[in-house]
Chains A and B, each alone.
Chain A
Amino acid sequence: MSTNENDIELLDQFINGQLDATKRNEVSKRLEQDLEFARELNQLKLMVDCVRISGRKRLLDEIKQWDEDIEDDIEEPEKIRNLGVFRWYYAAASVVVFMVAGFLIYSNINFGYDNIVADVYEPYNYISPTSRGGDVQKNQLSQFFMYYDRAEYTQAIQLWEEVDDAQKTDDAEFYLANAYQAEKRYSEASDIYKKLIKSENKYKMASIWYLALCYLSLDNPEQANDLLVELENENSSYSPKATDLLSRLNK
């Protein structure tokens, strides 16, 4: 049986799934019985695929044309631009950078003040509860001290935000500064210590000591030295510690 224009239309609709179930069954039956019709379908499928590939190529060419009309001052990031051309130089340079960085880190460990500070630093001992009450705010402050006592400084700092401002006394802030220092948040700790020193708080001597340690941790030995000298001259329980530390620093 030969195929005609209507057969091609039928096969087109068959390929595109545009036939209803009855028509589709009819075409399927005929495909089983009519070899020429089946071959026609395969050939049509192949041609349609090829036309589609060609269509896509045309569209891509058109898009490339659109692209040429777009003003473009976008530049590749430096690292990408250089990567293709200087791939090996880039790799070699990376190795050098890592080596230098490693050396600097190593140097800091060995030549900074971290070891000395680690030897003498311990967070201020929490001795007695300053407040134990029934209301929520007092409980939160109690919890802050509980965390501090357990050396759970991160939690203590987080809880501080929830403590009522009225409960945030200078004394309590001294422990907060200690918590910051224990967490290596030296700048925040220093700010509180400075405030307490200025206000002549009962923790003034302790604040001078801890602030000196903060300065050392921040690699600022000059300011640490001044504070330790001041502390050495005071009649304080921290004076012998200051003397000892000064002698270590001046070795």
Chain B
Amino acid sequence: MENHSLIEKIKNKDGEAELKEIYDKYRNEFLIWAMRKHSCTKEEAKDVFQQSVIIFYENIIYGKVKEITSQVKTYIFSIGKNKILELSRQKSKQQFNSEDYMFAGQDIFYNDFDDVYEEKIQKIEQCISKIGDPCKKLLVEFYYHKRPMIDIAEIMDYKNSDTVKNLKYKCLKRLKKIFQSEFGILFKGAL
């Protein structure tokens, strides 16, 4: 698969299907590599691979990576390798060196997948869940997957992008109210 067109495919509304294809293709190879070469347990290897695929996806959709100079497999395995090193550092309680996060002269952007993240996410998930669907889906599509309004209208079966824009505003208002009740003074004021 041509790397440039792959990036475009991942960015469009069928991006998750492309991601699944990549996941299925390299999953077993990564697990074997992580277990044999880095002495990971199978569960650790699986977790690391899943995180690596998400980081790969986010780097593309947030435009942090515009071009992949190496093979996709090499890129994902490099992310995975750094995650494994991070894991072993956590195990041995050593601090990590940011220089390890360079790959072929290209920054790989890392996001939290740690204990703090796990703690935060439960509270946030509770808040987001309270707005219910379709608001939750719409906001996630717009802010996380960075889908254009027109694509969201198609995915969620709305008339046009204006409808989506309008609904998005209402959803944010609803979310803000929930946050106000959960987090208090920080959210004082009207949206």
Contacts and interface: CB of A to CB of B under 8 A. Distances in A.
A54 B20 contact: no
A51 B140 contact: yes
Given A57-B121, A63-B50, A66-B23, A43 B128 contact: no
Size range of the chain A interface in the assembly: 35 or more
Contact of B191 (A40, A52, A59): A40
A67 B49 CA distance: 11
Could you say which interface size class chain B belongs to? 35 or more
A3 interface: yes
Contacts of A58: 140, 144
B172 A2 contact: no
B14 to A, nearest CB: 14
Contacts of A3: 190-191
Interface string A40-72: 100110111011111111111011101100101
Given A51-B128, A55-B144, A43 B187 contact: yes
Contact of A50 (B57, B128, B186): B128
Contact of A54 (B40, B51, B144, B191): B144
B72 to A, nearest CB: 16
A70 B191 contact: no
A5 interface: yes
A77 B34 CA distance: 11
Contacts of A54: 121, 124-125, 128, 136, 140, 144
5 contacts: A47-B172, A51-B139, A56-B58, A63-B53, A77-B35
Given A36-B189, A50-B179, 11 more contacts: A5-B165, A50-B128, A53-B124, A54-B125, A55-B140, A56-B54, A67-B27, A70-B24, A72-B28, A74-B42, A80-B35
